Structure 1
Amino acid sequence: MAAKMLDGRKLAGEIFEEIRTRVSARVAEGKPAPALATVLVGDDRASDVYVRSKQKNAKQVGIDARDHRLPASITTDELVELVSSLNADASVSGVLIQQPVPPQIDMTRVIAALDPVKDVDGFHPVNVGLVALGLAGAVEPCTPAGIVELLEHAGVSISGAEAVVVGRSNLVGKPAALLLLKRHATVTICHTRTRELAAHTRRADILVAAAGKVGLITREMVKPGAAVVDVAANWVGGKQVGDLGPGVEEVAGWLTPNPGGVGPMTRAMLIRNTFNAEVRRRP
């Protein structure tokens, strides 16, 4: 029996429409439209595509997209100077610094320099800490927030569920585990060095694959009926593939396509975070 699709494209479209309506209502009240400043360092083609997609999504909901392109030779101090100017610009609602950046850039310093309210990626230590503590007011990181939104929208029961997150990155694995824990799942974090990985994944009612290793999760490792979210973006022969091996769709109860599952939701959460940042600054 084929798994039900967790369709990120469809849900993202609904979220974009919701935000478009809310932006229009604010503008009709005489309030300024939100503005998203994107910062791209260097000329990485993949990053350029990602930034353009995010700008397109912003514009389609009525958010002003402001593009900042910097040479690959820029220093950390110069990038921090730009971030500081965007912090001080009252017309800017949120700031996105596209990663990866050139190796000479100290992203720890750059992120720390960003105003936490304008940190629409949810990477600032203040926001990371609020998420870790389960406190209100955090800007939740986009990909983990998108995962939870997909599950909840599909009616997947998170409270009390066994959730296994395979991947421990600061961008996806760790915060995804925290957001699931906040919703009362019993969470296990695994990774590529976990011994007897299958013994953990076979228990999972919710399985998040975010290790970045092609074919890591085989059909034998999936509990029948589980909700499986494939986050990884691996490239094989010029095509994007995730961490799942063949046949998982025959075992899982719910499954994200890849691409078309988590990716669109990441952008949708970014747009929602940008709108919410503007609302927090200027109710």
Structure 2
Amino acid sequence: MMELRGLPVANSLTEAFKLRINQLKLGGITPKLSVIRIGNNEDDISYERSIIKKFSSLDAVAEVTGLPYDVRQETIEAVIKKMNNDNNVHGILLFRPFPEHLSYEKIKSVINGDKDVDCMSQTNMARLFSGEKNGYPPCTAQAVMEILDYYKVDLAGKKAVIVGRSLVVGKPLGILLLEKNATVTICHSKTKNLPEECRRADILIACAGSANMITREFTNPSQIVIDVGINVEEGRLCGDVKYDDVADYVQAITPVPGGVGTVTTIELLKHTIISAERYNAVVRI
């Protein structure tokens, strides 16, 4: 079994980004991400710390705006509009899910698609599904593709099965895999004979948000397994794949933690850098 760890992927990308950030700084430009957090969810706070740490380590800026859980709709829309109009802000990220009293549809229609670095807006979703290259795919879905590319997994003609159909990972990831000429099947909780569908896959991607749901019966010995899930079970972090049951049986697998999540933050930085380059007409070196 080969373990597909995220750190080598992240390190490889980081080295390339250093050069691009330095080029921006020569023109007096610092890539900046504005993060909006609603409430004080511990997972959100932990994630924002990792974002700030990664950005600051490369002389980029990640700034957090914390809003109360009972924030009014017009208040959050005003905050987003201010960021849209700030030329020093190159990326905007909103932590999800939102409190039930807020309109997700209205919020995603307010964010500027050119600064929407995690594909929340309808503009970027349309760009993704229509095959345009000037948008930003969801960072987690893009992180999966970076891992497959780094480890030289040839996707052309391969059968890829995705377990999970969310707009955050499953559906966008299907589009990205299709662009690499994979044959894609998207499964979900209503899929009949789910273990059998998964066993047929050359590449199995678990992103259903259900702890340890993928066991050995879902896999085959020649399979590459990508675990996108991040769950807490009995006080321990785990994925959607029951790692100890599957790892010694399949060809390759990503661990949790240490897999896809490690690359996701780097993708966020990548999209922010691209946005800064576009906004300031900087030619990549």
TM-score bracket, shorter-length normalisation:
over 0.9
- Deviation by residue 1:32-86 (Cα, 9 ceiling, x = unmatched): 1111111111111111111111111111111122221111121111100000000
TM-score (norm 2): 0.95
Give every structure 1 segment of 4 or more consecutive aligned residues whose post-TM-superposition deviation is greater than 6 Å.
Answer: none
Alignment of 1:35-114 (within 5 A): 35-114=32-111
Kindly provide the amino acid, as one letter, of the partner of residue 272 in structure 2: T
- Offset at 1:247? 2.5
Q: CA RMSD in A?
A: 1.2
- Mapped pair 1:272 → 2:282: no
Contact 1:42 1:101 in 2 (8 A): no
Distance 1:195 1:112, change over 3 A: same
The residue that corresponds to 1:211 in the other structure is 208
Q: Secondary structure at the match of 1:118?
A: coil
Kept in 2, the 8 Å contact 1:16–1:271? The answer is: no
After TM superposition, give the deviation of residue 223 of structure 1 in Å: 2.1
Q: Quote the Cα distance in structure 1 between the aligned partners of 2:218 and 2:40.
A: 40
Q: 1:186 maps to what in 2?
A: 183
What SS does the corresponding residue of 1:169 show, helix, strand or coil?
A: coil
Whether the 8 Å CA contact 1:112–1:125 is kept in 2: the answer is yes
Asked if 1 retains the 8 angstrom alpha-carbon contact of 2:143 and 2:263, the reply is yes
| Structure 1 residue 151 corresponds to structure 2 residue 170 | no
Does the CA-based 8 Å contact 2:212-2:238 persist in structure 1?
no
Q: Aligned-pair distance for 1:208?
A: 0.3
Corresponding residue number in structure 2 for 1:14 = 12
Partner Cα distance (2:192, 2:28) in 1: 55
Give the TM-score normalised by structure 1.
Answer: 0.95
Q: Paired residue for 1:234, among 224, 231, 234?
A: 231
Q: 2:171 aligns with which of 163, 174, 178?
A: 174
Give the partner amino acid of 1:182.
E
Distance in 2 (CA, whole Å) between partners of 1:69 and 1:128 is 26
**Percent identity (aligned):** 32
Work out the CA distance in 1 between the residues paired with 2:156 and 2:117: 27
Task: Name structure 2 gaps, 5 residues minimum.
Answer: none
Q: Deviation per CA, 1:98-119, whole angstroms, max 9, x where unpaired? A: 1222221212211210110100
Secondary structure, in 3 states, of the residue corresponding to 2:55? helix
**Structure 1 residue 263, shift from structure 2 partner:** 0.5
Taking the aligned partners of 1:238 and 1:108, their CA distance within structure 2 comes to 34
Note closer, same or farther for the CA distance 1:214–1:69 as it changes in structure 2 (3 Å cut). closer
Partner of 2:279: 281
Q: Out of 145-154 and 129-138, give the one that drifted further.
A: 129-138
Which residue of structure 2 lines up, in the alignment, with residue 262 of structure 1? Answer: 260
**Counterpart amino acid of 2:223?**
A
CA deviation after TM superposition for structure 1 residue 182, in Å: 1.2
Residue correspondences, number: 280
> 1:211 & 1:81 partners in 2: Cα distance?
33
* 3-state SS of 1:215 partner: coil
